[in-house]
Structure 1
Amino acid sequence: MSKPVKSAAELIAMARAELKVHADCPDGIEISVISNADSWEFRAAADAGTVAKPGYPECVAMLVQIGDQLGKQYELKD
């Protein structure tokens, strides 16, 4: 049974919505989707000022967890 397909933009929007509910993330975090073979994952990036803000490490950790969950539910659209 195949999983539903979502675009990178849709997956990022879903991740941002989850982060708003579960974490107090600083503004300025860029989220991207990295595809490899038959899976995908989120990547977070930010400037040094954003990285230094309280909550950034927790936000990135939460993003990894969200990506794990969404990766089990959705395929990435090419």
Structure 2
Amino acid sequence: MSKPTKTEAELVAMARAELKVHADGPDGIGIFVVTTDDGWEFRTEADEETRARPGYGESVAMIVQIGDHLSKQYDVAG
């Protein structure tokens, strides 16, 4: 049974919405979808100022967890 597909933009929007509920981190974290042999995962990017703000590490860890959860439910649209 195949999983439903979402676009990269939809997956990132879902991650941002869930992140707002669970973590109080800084704005300015870029979230990207990277496809792998096993499916897909989120990667993050931020400037030095954003990385230095309180809650950055927690937010990145939460994004990884959200990606793990979503990748079990959805495939990324190619």
Query: TM-score, normalization: structure 2?
Result: 0.97
Take 1:3 and 1:31, find their aligned partners in 2: how far apart are those partners? 22
Alignment partner of 1:40 is 2:43? no
Within a 5 Å distance, the mapping from 1:1-78 to structure 2 comes to 1-78=1-78
Structure 1 consecutive aligned stretches of length 4 or more whose deviation exceeds 6 Å? none
Question: Which amino acid letter does the alignment assign opposite residue 27 of structure 2?
Answer: D
- What's the offset of the Cα at 1:25? 1.5
Take 2:30 and 2:5, find their aligned partners in 1: how far apart are those partners? 22
Gaps in structure 1 of 5+ consecutive residues: none
- Aligned residues, how many? 78
Q: Secondary structure at the residue paired with 2:43?
A: strand
Take 1:38 and 1:59, find their aligned partners in 2: how far apart are those partners? 24
Q: CA RMSD in A?
A: 0.6
The one-character-per-residue Cα deviations of 1:1-46 (angstroms, maximum 9, x if unpaired) are 1000000000000000000000002011100000012410001110
